[in-house]
Structure 1
Amino acid sequence: MTIRVLVADDQDIVRAGLTIILDAQPGIEVVAQAADGREAVRLARRLRPDVCLLDIRMPDVDGIEATRQLAGPDVEDPLAVVVITTFDLDEYVHGALKAGARGFLLKDAGPALLTQAVQAAAHGDALIAPSITARLLATFAQTAGSPPAQPLEPLTSREEEVLIPVAQGRTNSEIADELHISLSTVKTHLAALMRKLDARNRVEIAMWAYETGRIKT
């Protein structure tokens, strides 16, 4: 099944480069390009791509607002959004994740990581690269203005065990191998974590883990 991607970036050369990289990957097709957030939202709503790859800094409507309009908590049928940025300590990344982005990348991440992020988002997952996302989440956890929300129900000991590798960027398969449980069991615990933490995806689970001090860098 081909993963349909929308690429939005206000720099022509970056947008073209991302498109070339993604189109060269088997099973991925760039179906639209946008030069700003407003155009990205319009095209995304019309074409319903599997993944929207959005630059965080764009004119008119920026990546955060575009993410909120496409994947925010009030969106009835949200799209998968991956944010891409130049700076690994960009102050807007936290806002983008809160707005509903499933993950983010640096523009120099390379074809392999870019492909992994798109594939993960298309399959309802999120790429959380330990070398980038972990440091960012920890930074924003330290500067968060409000205390983290308490879970709707206490986490079980196994859910706590699954929570840590999720926040560290492990895939479901890696978590299954690490904890010696089945893939379906991992998915069951992930679903429970999302319900109890009122999280929409793995990124929000990871953010909660950092905000509560369960993961430290």
Structure 2
Amino acid sequence: MPDTSHRQFKLRPMEKADLEIVARWFQDVRDLALFDRTTRIPQNLMQTEHAWDDAVGVSGRNERCWFVIESDDRETVGVVGLESISPFNRDAVIPVFVEKSLRRQGVAVRAVALMLDFAFQQLGLNRITSYYRSDNLGSRDLISRLGCQVEGTLRQAWFADGQFHDMVVVGILQQDWAERRAALAQELDREIVVSFGATGWSWPPESNADS
């Protein structure tokens, strides 16, 4: 379990070696079912490596990119990325996972905000989609704070813990993020900072001028 006193985090591209800790996180069946609609069976390391091959391998496909959230002592505490990247429709799906000890600490919202900057400013995307299980209040609060809009509910589309849950679909456009970004930067203090490697990008931004 990481030391939560660490308040500086960074994103770096995911490596194959990182999948060992990902596989370990996903041994928690109940937690896995809270965040992943498609997987219910915990996978061993080999199965995890196969499932994530496009993200960490050399296939040359550009449909997904994943980043590790790393503390300042280089401990992996979460992952965030873009899935189903479409250069034609200029959209993607954004997932995030932070280990339990750091949830509701402000790490996830900063990591996702940084990923939105990357998606809109670097990749030129126009839309980001996400979804969450209706009883996942942490995810609900996170995406609401970012400015995502609820666009629909798929009734009883997510089975877990012996019952069917609704799945809430949300989206945010580049123009929505441009309107929300400055206000969010004002709301978030710099006691916790998530940076994007050596690019100089960070959340919250370095100054109001960057927001």
Give the TM-score of the pair, scaled to structure 1: 0.32
Q: Which has the higher helix share?
A: 1
Q: Which has the higher strand share?
A: 2
RCO higher in structure (CA 8 A, sep ≥6): 2
